[in-house]
Amino acid sequence: MQVACVTGRMGDDEREAKIAEIDADRPRVLVATDCLSEGVNLQEKFTAVVHYDLPWNPNRLEQREGRVDRYGQPARTVKAIRFFGRDNPVDGVVIEVLLDKAREIHRTLGTHVPVPEESESVTQAVLEALFLRGRRRAEPRQLLLDLGIPQVADLHKRWERDAERERINRTRFAQRALKPEEVQRELEATDAVLGDPAAVREFVLAAAQRIGLAVAPDRRQGVFRVTVTPEATATLPEAIRLVLPASKGGRWLISFDSPTPEGAEYVGRNHRLVATLARFFFEEALSRPGNATVSRCGALRTRAVEALTTILLLRVRYLVEQPQLRPLLSEEVLVVGFAGAGPADAEWLEAEDALRLLAEARPDANIPAEEKRELVERALASVGEWHATAAEWGAAHPIQRAVRDRVARRGERARRCPQAHPPGGVACACAGSR
């Protein structure tokens, strides 16, 4: 049995090191004070919380439990156990004045409402009355009823007003914004920018194959096994190897689905593995032309288009200017596309169509290397060379001018100013199958 102890006397680094030493594959117990109530996540190593004491502020109980019962917890059930003395008047006061009221509000509203800040002074008044009147042997609940302490009633009234205010705010919010069609549009817009679970899964599996990271489907649906033994990861790029967890069994179970199956780690768009893979491929493509694992340009023959089509994946930078605030630099990825063999006859695609082609177009036939090189060179020639020092970049070039106009329109919609230099870009030529 592993037993670790963490207190407020330790520094942040020492506490984190203590927790990191705990082996999640062996029985374990972590004894800690409220120094772990916030900022430390334990969902990967623990599935239960035992409260040895009853704090006067119920918010502390919620904060403690939130270290374990939180997003990313693989267990289906998280247990929270509270100890109290049946004949202990202190525990009786805490339960009746605070915990019972908190439970009642949660049952009615469906969410927790923080206890008013003066709860500790109110509880202190109750305890002083209990002991000063010498009523220790009576039932705690009867003691509280007999004392008639006005601070308790006032506290509960303020708490109830806060709960009512929260209920009204939630109702207004639900009436005003929670409309299924609007939520659906927001989700679709978010998925288009960040990628939905299917896109993340496809990216990770394809990237793993490129760099030689062994990922195989597990017997459970939606779960994949990643081999992380030293022998299997020895040839991986260092940046990728460093983000892989050390596992006693040499395998790491992951899933791209939420809720995540028990025992597997959720891998979403912002997971360290996804972010590191994306950064590695992007930086390598820019810094090692001709020798990178992935290319900045490509060509494929597909039935998704009927004419020669060029898709540009642009990294656009905006200078965000706000009154009385320092300007900020913002970035986004913009996908644009046009059909046609050259600048003169370019027919621009809608943004949704260009994004769909980039995401969904699949090769239907092979292209000889020489023809592929010719298609890419033609696409690059039609786009032309960026002139980063020109204040009006692309003004004299049809393709660049069209790209500039589209970037400017997006900036105007958000009341932002595009920087006076062109975006970095990746060109991809799609050759029609006919």
Global pTM?
0.52
- Report which of 298, 378, 297, 383 is spatially closest to residue 343, judged by C-alpha positions: 383
Query: Phi, psi (5° rounding) for residue 32?
Result: -145, 155
Which range, 10-19, 41-50, 244-253, 284-293, is most confident? 41-50
Question: Where in 155-200 does DSSP place strands (E)?
Answer: none
User: In the predicted model, what is the mean pLDDT of residues 198-207?
Assistant: 92
Q: Look at residue 93 in the predicted model and tell me its pLDDT.
A: 63
3-class secondary-structure state, position 247: coil
- The domains found in the chain, sorted by start residue, are 2-177 (3.40.50), 190-287 (no CATH), 298-432 (no CATH)
pLDDT in tens, 344-374: 788 989 988 998 898 889 999 999 989 999 9
3-class secondary-structure state, position 183: helix
Are 407 and 418 spatial neighbours (Cβ–Cβ below 8 Å)?
yes
Q: Look at residue 99 in the predicted model and tell me its pLDDT.
A: 67
Q: What's the gap between Cα 264 and its chain centre?
A: 17
List the structure tokens of 143. Answer: 């003691």
3-class secondary-structure state, position 431: strand
Q: Is the peptide bond before 259 cis (omega within 30 degrees of 0)?
A: yes
- Picking from 22-36, 179-193, 250-264, 270-284, which range would have the lowest pLDDT averaged per residue? 179-193
User: In the predicted model, what is the mean pLDDT of residues 279-291?
Assistant: 86
Q: Look at residue 63 in the predicted model and tell me its pLDDT.
A: 82
List the structure tokens of 184. Answer: 């659906």
The dihedral sign for the CA sequence 65, 67, 71, 74: negative
The average confidence (pLDDT) of the chain is 78
Q: Look at residue 110 in the predicted model and tell me its pLDDT.
A: 62
Q: How confident is the model at residue 15 (pLDDT cuts 50, 70, 90)?
A: confident
- Picking from 169-178, 222-231, 323-332, 336-345, which range would have the lowest pLDDT averaged per residue? 169-178
Say if residue 81's pLDDT is above 80.
yes
> What letter does residue 97 receive in the DSSP assignment?
I
Say if residue 204's pLDDT is above 90.
yes
Say if residue 147's pLDDT is above 90.
no
For 20-74, the DSSP string reads HT--TTS-EEEEE-GGGSSS---TTT--EEEESS--S-HHHHHHHHHTTSSTT--
Q: Look at residue 380 in the predicted model and tell me its pLDDT.
A: 86
Paired residues of 347 in beta bridges: 339
Q: How confident is the model at residue 9 (pLDDT cuts 50, 70, 90)?
A: confident
